[in-house]
Chain A
Amino acid sequence: MSNGRFGEHGGQYIPETLMNAVIELEQAYNHFKDDPEFNAELETLFNEYAGRPSRLYYAEKMTKDLGGAKIYLKREDLNHTGAHKINNVLGQALLAKKMGKTRLIAETGAGQHGVATATAAALLGMECVVFMGEEDTKRQALNVYRMRLLGSEVIPVTSGTATLKDAVSEAMREWTNRIDDTHYCLGSVMGPHPFPTIVRDFQAVISKEIKSQILEKEGRLPDVVMACVGGGSNAIGTFYNFIEDKEVKLIGCEAAGRGIDTFETAATVNTGRIGIFHGMKSYFCQDEYGQIAPVYSISAGLDYPGIGPEHAWLNDIGRAEYVPVTDDEAVEAFEYLARTEGIIPAIESAHAVAHAMKIAPTMDKDKIIVITVSGRGDKDCAAIARYRGEDIYE
């Protein structure tokens, strides 16, 4: 079996045209990941530019209101550009620059990864092209403008369902077309090896910080850490440094859309089966003939028919649990966190908040839950207002 496996998942299912590119990337990454100069530069970017470490905030009102476990929020929404995506992007952009690449391409769903990539490109003086499903360019018009403002070109993708999966397909197609000067800055822990590993390593800063912050505040590890999962980058970042700590429960919250008993869902682990797509073997929503399903979620960032291979493996070995959260539950959590803590989470992150609202009241008061708030919700306000029947536009 090939490189980059997590159990049976992962691998490198890509056209021959791209094989030398991913091999070159793997070699460069293996070289730079232990390079003190590279790591010092990245840490400076994290701390001075992105605003790390992000806060671990005790949500006291929410804790009291729910009446159970103590709830902490890992505030990735406070990062520069408003989401965890910047962690991975700064790492990959710096790596690409060291490799001599001058152009970044990226896919984006909600627009957060696109904005982060456009930001890093502006900072590091690189050219940037972002592929975004046409449907998403409408749902997230403000982010399209932000990317253009940052000097990037945004290409609306009209193929397929015109959402995140099609943006990934189109970015992969563009990469086969132009490899020499171009790095594909993949936004999640998915795609062919080495992407799931590289993205995880750059996002692992989240759990590294949670661990030291919770030890400082509580003197012990949390009982549960949880995050929303689309491809799964903020979730793997949240889980990674706790995988060996078996007493810490890991929960990923999938977008169930209108429910896992409907076709309008994006809950991959709960409704999908093993398959091969976008360079990896993992779980995918698909029909009996292996045709990829047109998934749905209110959240453009979770509206993806697959999940990263390491998550598929953590599910297989029972180390992490993946639960479905519907649109309705996520919207309620979005409003709840705004009202209760004065924090407007991204609709993606609201999926994790929603599940915490279910389990916290069932847990003892001496238990601790950490929820990663992967991004901030400004981008979602107009869409949620419309969901609630208020006719406002950005």
Chain B
Amino acid sequence: MSNISKAFENGKAFIPFITCGDPNLETTGKLVRAAVENGADLIELGIPFSDPTAEGPVIQGANIRALSGGVTTDKIFDFVKELRKDVTIPLVFMTYANVVFGYGSEKFAQKCEEIGIDGIILPDVPFEEKDEFDGIFASHNIDLISMIAPTSENRIAMIAKEAKGFIYVVSSLGVTGVRNAITSDISGMVKLIRENTDTPCAVGFGISTPEQAKNMADKADGAIVGSAIVKLVAEHGTEASGPVGAYIKSMKDAIR
């Protein structure tokens, strides 16, 4: 049982996503602490990638701002190490395969363990490619998080059986971003997952309002919100921790 399971011990989990270094790491530090104070149960920390193919325009923008601000993987490792002096909730990285592979997967995983990262999400590493990363991360006690999409259908059992940490249930087709309505049969997906594993399920993609978060969390074990938070950061810049904290509180209150 990994540290990630702690995120699901406090009722339904609220999982915010924050891009590291958008607009700078000092602000990211404030955002993480505001998220913790306002009820976040686990935080996804995005390591920016030049060409994030699973992201919509909002998170693409955050990646560009962060990279042009000069953030690098090494700077993010140092930042998380510092963060871990007072932040104890589970933290997972979200990035792309080449950020890990280009750094050296073994070296990357070792660093993650040293600084206290609990899991990693790689949206361009599906079940068929996971062996290349899973063993390396597992040997450093890091969970490689599995994703299940509305198109997964016959693949759900196979993925769920080998899932670790939590399962990222992708709510909708397409890329990340705020949506007015989520039409996929989340309950049906979660039911199939639960027939195959006890690993908790958190739903993400398209969630922005407390009502949506509640609706999704009711059907699963938690809700993940990225673009709506990144939008607030884009709007308020270095002053974003206040509005983001208040937003996270409203979301956690809605699902608790």
Contacts and interface: CB of A to CB of B under 8 A. Distances in A.
Interface of A: 1-3, 11-21, 159-160, 165-166, 169, 172-173, 176-179, 274-279, 281, 284, 286, 288-292
A176 B173 contact: yes
Contact of B51 (A11, A20, A169): A169
20 contacts: A3-B128, A11-B129, A13-B124, A15-B123, A15-B149, A16-B147, A18-B151, A20-B154, A159-B57, A173-B53, A178-B173, A178-B174, A276-B98, A276-B101, A277-B51, A289-B103, A290-B100, A290-B101, A290-B102, A291-B67
A1 B126 CA distance: 12
Interface string B76-114: 000000000000000000001111111100000000000
Nearest to A176: B174
Interface residues of B, number: 43
Nearest to A159: B60
B155 A177 contact: no
Given A15-B54, A173-B175, A290-B101, A20 B151 contact: yes
A60 B72 CA distance: 55
B124 A15 contact: yes
A19 B170 CA distance: 13
A1 B135 CA distance: 13
A16 B170 contact: yes
Given A276-B98, A290-B98, A292-B50, A17 B173 contact: yes
B3 interface: no
Interface in B24-39: none
Given A21-B151, A179-B151, A292 B127 contact: no
Contact of A291 (B50, B74, B149): B50
A159 B63 CA distance: 11
A390 B57 CA distance: 38
Contacts of A173: 53-54, 56, 174-175
Interface of B: 49-51, 53-54, 56-57, 60, 67, 72-74, 96-103, 123-129, 131-132, 147-155, 159, 170, 173-175
Contacts of B72: 289
A17 B170 contact: yes
Given A276-B96, A292-B98, 10 more contacts: A2-B128, A11-B129, A16-B148, A16-B149, A16-B151, A16-B170, A19-B155, A176-B173, A177-B175, A277-B98
Contact of A13 (B51, B103, B125, B151): B125
Contacts of A281: 101
A12 B57 CA distance: 24
Contacts of B49: 290-291
Given A19-B152, A284-B98, A290-B99, A278 B53 contact: yes
B60 A15 contact: no
A286 B126 CA distance: 23
Contacts of A276: 96-98, 101, 124
Nearest to A286: B102
